[in-house]
Structure 1
């Protein structure tokens, strides 16, 4: 904090500061000149009613607090204006997209570098007016990314757009993500968790941001590359993929009691498909030790001694529902 203050642009020149201190001690006079003008503009001196033709120093702390309050009000007005700016220019942005359609090769814009990706993504999301679809198969998100999401996603919801998000089941045991989910669902967002889905962000069904995948391994070819797809056909395919994954995902509102049940069910479903515990951990985005711990909790709660007994118990329970 100290480095931020000392690196800020000084309010007064050194000569003006010395003149203020001299006036304050009664050892100086404020002759007409640039230093006196600067002190007057800053509100630090005023005519002395007891000595015509002279000036006196005013309370610097009061001046600083008044200026601080003014800057805070200005900053608030600017933030409010920034929040609604994409909405004000939405019609012009739509016209621009229509006029420049086809300028990217095949409706695909390749972005390289995390800064370029984040800036392009921020511009797209800030212009979202109807619907934001996101799928994040990366497990719990870092605190700094959640902090960005609060401001960005709440802005989307305040503009009246619908927002749907899919996460891995592992986020249900992450307290910061749970608080984010609770806040977003209270504001109208819909959140679900699913086991297998691709990473994507779709804005107003007109643009999709996706990783660039190797066609054989289906792994990201480079962590700092992404594609912005604007082809109507390709975006439609991305939306269809999201809707399929959304249909098989389970709703979540951030509540801790629901999260444990959903994680247990996701693990049991994977085991029922024949996956080994390490494969379950990989698919659900959690460690093998976490999977083993969840299964141990389930066995203790149900009285089952083995994994086979646990799967049999779960199968009977599902049939009875």
Structure 2
């Protein structure tokens, strides 16, 4: 523990202070406690005994006593030669909490427990997100599926999760990545795919859903806030099946990176301008179109200006009419709508939220 928590609560997870014991016991009995209750006892958050409620971030829910005990014992056994006393103390402490937990009604638990961990776990902070991703990478043996929204991949973003990608490749894990068409124009992505060889298969679409990373169709990671400083770790079979279905349907619609994008069939209209035209026909504003296609608003407006010039439109209204006349409002390459919670966001690297 560091900082304020260490000064106020100089102890380990094997024996909580009286204040921490009181708050954690209350959380286990009731299923959750207000975040303000934990402010005087930062040890509970630092030791991950409490974590944010996925449904209301102003509340904290207790980590399963069995899960806490398992995590604690893993570290204790590494030091077993000098820590026999701590093992017994930890088991005794968390068996008592487990007894309290058995009296909780299932509906009062915000995170449903499954074999291997919580069905939904909130990861608060980049350090915890990266640690959970590293654990999932280490456990992965077969397949990784990722959706990477946004535009051109910059080198720093691609190298951020490169250690995980290389570790997966070394174990023969296969990876399938979905990007937007705009990502094709970045040398960083091409360099990454060349480095990974046949371990990675990449395809692109006009637009994709928000960031999604699936390991072995068992555990998924998605962002939990707009700036990606929080994430959800998901293990519920129904959610995993849903994400796999979404991915597979988008994959079938996507075009391999090695294959050129199809000609629009309209002289002077690029593939990107065709995509912009279809979104304009749906009534979207410039900023929304730019976000969904992974380009800047300035670039989007430049394409709209060229589109207007090519189609001979003198106004935005006239442009809409011309788009419909030439058939750009129903392009075959458009992606079907998906649930609102899976809208595109900014860009990051493969295997990094």
1:153 is displaced (CA, Å) by: 2.2
Tell me the CA shift for residue 293 of structure 1: 2.3
Shift of residue 262 of structure 1? 4.4
Whether the 8 Å CA contact 2:148–2:211 is kept in 1: the answer is yes
Match of 1:171 among 170, 178, 183: 183
What whole-Å deviation, never above 9, does each CA across 1:229-265 have from its counterpart, x for those lacking one? 122222112212222333343432397999x954334
- Paired residue for 1:271, among 260, 272, 280? 280
Secondary structure in 2 matching 1:165 = strand
Q: Is the 8 A contact 1:210 1:228 kept in 2?
A: yes
Higher relative contact order (CA 8 A, sep 6+): 2
Aligned pair partner of 1:305 in 312, 316, 324? 312
Q: How many equivalent residue pairs?
A: 209
Deviation beyond 6 Å, 4+ runs, structure 1:
254-258, 316-319
Tell me what 1:136 maps to.
148
- Aligned-partner SS, 1:243: helix
2:291 aligned residue: 282
1:73-112 maps to which residues of 2 (within 5 A)? 101-102=114-115, 104-105=117-118, 107-112=119-124
Normalising by structure 2, what TM-score? 0.49
Report if aligned partners of 1:140, 1:174 keep a CA contact under 8 Å in 2.
yes
After superposition, what is the alpha-carbon deviation per residue over 1:20-76, rounded to whole angstroms, capped at 9, x for unaligned? Answer: xxxxxxxxxxxxxxxxxxxxxxxxxxxxxxxxxxxxxxxxxxxxxxxxxxxxxxxxx
Whether the aligned pair in 2 keeps the contact of 1:172 and 1:254 (CA below 8 Å) is: no
CA distance in 2, matches of 1:257, 1:281: 21
TM-score (norm 1): 0.54
Unaligned residue ranges in structure 1 (runs of 5+): 1-99, 213-219
Q: Secondary structure at the match of 1:116?
A: helix
Is the contact made by 1:193 and 1:251 (CA closer than 8 Å) also made in structure 2? no
Larger Rg: 1
CA RMSD of aligned residues (A): 3.5
Q: Which has the higher helix share?
A: 1
| Conserved 8 A contact 2:213-2:221 | yes
Q: Does 1:244 align with 2:249?
A: yes
